[in-house]
């Protein structure tokens, strides 16, 4: 089989970094090809996210992947960063050296359009931050949906409470207008919401197994995950953390790990209390919805996810 061509769009904080390590292991094994990364505002600003991405990729031995800086703010609201969860630098406030490489100078939206046109029908976009770059790319090129193989998005919440407001998940809430553009476009979308990710939370035993290894990649992963666990423990009420973004990457490469339903998805743009909430129509009555259905992950093989993520990080 030809390895899938992956373009990541991310806001590299801790779970994005773990996702990049997982994917780097898949690339080294010949099971994926990482053709580029674009960064966006979210956990940190888009430039800081690009520098973090370069750091992680270089640590994992992937120093030839182009990294483009993307949108620095949402389409229609003020920018917001998640420093309480990821640290002021996005990587647990570790004192990290500057990466040896540098961003390309191309915008993330322009990179997305160029790569989609260079590989028509082959590109899988995995988006694990706010969807501003994808929304901008759709506005740049009306033919983009016909050029992309699949879009896998970590974001949204349906039956699960939001994680930034009562109803909204952070990636969607950071730019609801862009997210609604993505869900309205005529391309295949897989959505990996909090309903699927929260049940995959790693616990104290998983963290201890990671900490038992002292190679550079494992040591880095353990340091950032301990920070993340400190932030997550009050929410989970046990020692642990949810590595949301890694599940999206894993389902992009192995969809069989997930359980899905198909529903058209919209984003609430005007509600005083519900702006940024993802909404689907779960009624059995015939619907007049004209949007293409989104494949929404509602569960996964949790044990397989946790084992594969740990094995990937420990493979370096």
Active site positions, annotated: 11, 244
Torsion from C-alpha of 30, 111, 96, 129, nearest 10 degrees: -90
What lies within 8 Å, CB to CB, of 235 at 6+ separation is: none
| Region at 267 (left for phi over 0; alpha for psi -120 to 50; beta for the rest) | beta
* Strand-pair category, 258-263 with 265-267: unpaired
Is residue 191 within 8 Å of residue 156, measured between CB atoms? yes
Neighbours of 160 (CB within 10 A): 16
Cα distance between residue 37 and residue 10, in whole Å: 7
**What are the backbone angles phi and psi of residue 216, rounded to the nearest 5°?**
-55, -45
What lies within 8 Å, CB to CB, of 45 at 6+ separation is: 72, 79, 81
* Strand-pair category, 67-69 with 258-263: unpaired
| Region at 295 (left for phi over 0; alpha for psi -120 to 50; beta for the rest) | beta
**What are the backbone angles phi and psi of residue 79, rounded to the nearest 5°?**
-80, 150
DSSP tag of 149 = E
Cα distance between residue 167 and residue 165, in whole Å: 5
Cα distance between residue 76 and residue 108, in whole Å: 19
Per-residue 3-state assignment (H helix, E strand, C coil) for 9-24: EECCCHHHHHHHHHHH
Neighbours of 278 (CB within 10 A): 29
Instruction: For residue 7, list its beta bridge partners.
Output: 36, 125
């Amino acid at each position: 089989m030809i390895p899938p061509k992956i373009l990541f769009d991310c806001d590299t904080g801790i779970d994005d970094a773990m996702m990049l390590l997982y994917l780097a292991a898949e690339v080294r094994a010949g099971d994926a090809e990482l053709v580029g990364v674009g960064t966006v505002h979210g956990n940190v600003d888009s430039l800081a996210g690009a520098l973090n991405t370069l750091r992680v990729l270089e640590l994992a031995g992937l120093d030839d992947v182009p990294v483009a800086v993307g949108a620095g703010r949402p389409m229609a609201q003020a920018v917001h960063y998640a420093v309480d969860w990821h640290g002021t630098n996005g990587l647990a406030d570790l004192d990290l050296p500057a990466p040896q490489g540098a961003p390309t100078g191309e915008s993330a939206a322009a990179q997305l359009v160029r790569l989609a046109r260079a590989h028509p029908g082959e590109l899988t976009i995995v988006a694990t931050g706010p969807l501003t770059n994808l929304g901008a790319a759709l506005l740049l090129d009306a033919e983009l949906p016909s050029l992309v193989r699949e879009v896998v998005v970590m974001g949204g919440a349906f039956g699960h409470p939001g994680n930034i407001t009562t109803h909204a998940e952070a990636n969607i809430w950071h730019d609801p207008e862009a997210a609604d553009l993505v869900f309205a476009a005529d391309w295949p979308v897989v959505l990996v919401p909090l309903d699927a990710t929260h049940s995959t939370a790693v616990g104290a035993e998983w963290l201890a197994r990671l900490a038992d290894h002292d190679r550079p990649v494992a040591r880095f992963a353990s340091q950032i995950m301990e920070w993340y666990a400190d932030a997550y423990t009050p929410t989970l009420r046990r020692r642990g953390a949810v590595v949301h973004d890694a599940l999206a990457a894993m389902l992009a490469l192995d969809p069989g790990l997930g359980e899905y339903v198909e529903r058209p998805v919209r984003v609430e743009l005007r509600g005083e209390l519900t702006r940024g909430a993802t909404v689907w129509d779960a009624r059995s009555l015939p619907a007049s919805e004209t949007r293409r259905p989104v494949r929404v992950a509602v569960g996964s093989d949790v044990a397989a996810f946790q084992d594969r993520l740990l094995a990937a990080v420990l493979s370096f």
